[in-house]
Structure 1
Amino acid sequence: MAQRGEEAVISPTGWVAKQAKVYEESGGTKGTEVMDAPCLLLDYRGRRTGQWRRTVLIYGRDGDDYLIVASNGGAAEHPLWYRNLVDEPDVRLRVGTEERFTARATTLSAADKARVWPGLVELFAPYAEYQRKTDRDIPVVRLSRTEG
């Protein structure tokens, strides 16, 4: 999914790295789900290094936009990818076999999150438990296409 000659470094988390590799090497025909929930590949820039990084995330939809959840399994801290998106919101996405595009990431307002949260929990039920077990408000991020 490299653009402009810049390869992304895959997540060091074992299962994420394996799934990202399968997803990319299969052309988006394998590795596209976790527990029956659809997944995308997200390339984002490291806020300190400027290096492109890649992770696999479950996604939902809101109109033409994609929604991702910064749950970090309900941990006390936001996931690293989310902290990077806050500083560097321009990202690259791969969704399935055909969709490769750039997007802009924005954290949803409380009202927008309240509107989409039930659908995200329906898509991936563990999100409800993750929110219950942490004191932080789990962010939901909108990914809006910026170019083809």
Structure 2
Amino acid sequence: MSELDATPSPTKWVADQARLYEESDGTKGTTVQGVPCLLLDTLGRKSGIWHRTVLIYGRDGEDYLIVASLGGSDHHPLWYLNLTANPGVRLRVGTERFAAIAETLSPEEKARVWPHLVEVFPLYEGYQHKTERDIPVIRLRRAGDRHGS
């Protein structure tokens, strides 16, 4: 098992897409419904093992933005709970793989980037209306990048 291996999502289509994305070195499986996506590996807060999922992303300068929508569920996705406990994550974006630091945006920052994220994936707006939960937006910044800090 490679140091970059991770437990696949229990959701079959997510696991299949992540496998295609990784096995093609980021040349296939890089979109969901025509929208760019990345692979996010989070360290399990209970298990201590890496878990992999596929997520749509937006950009804010050099940083990547992801949305913990879970389709408008009233519960946070497990990957979000993992990265709040262990903010050091691993990403594959296209052909590039790198370590990153995850940070949940403040309400003010979320308000600033939300229109861009809804433009990238319009269903996010409906997901937010579907739940009482404030859907978190997470900034993923390359590890070691001092930009903005």
Q: TM-score, normalised by structure 1?
A: 0.94
1:22 is matched with 20
Q: Which runs of 4+ in 1 moved over 3 A?
A: none
CA distance in 2, matches of 1:57, 1:129: 17
Tell me: CA distance 1:11–1:76, structure 2 relative to 1, closer, same or farther (3 Å). same
- Structure 1: gaps spanning 5 or more residues: none
Alignment: residue pair count: 145
1:91 is matched with 89
CA distance in 2, matches of 1:5, 1:131: 36
1:129 is matched with 126
CA distance in 2, matches of 1:19, 1:4: 19
Work out which of the residue numbers 129, 136, 142 in structure 2 matches 1:145: 142
Work out which of the residue numbers 110, 115, 135 in structure 1 matches 2:112: 115
Q: How does 1:18-97 map to 2 (within 5 A)?
A: 18-97=16-95
CA distance in 1, matches of 2:3, 2:23: 18
Q: Output the aligned Cα RMSD.
A: 1.5
Identity across the alignment (%): 65
Deviation at 1:4, TM superposition (A): 7.5
Deviations 1:59-102 (A, max 9, x none): 000011000000000000000000111101000000001x2110
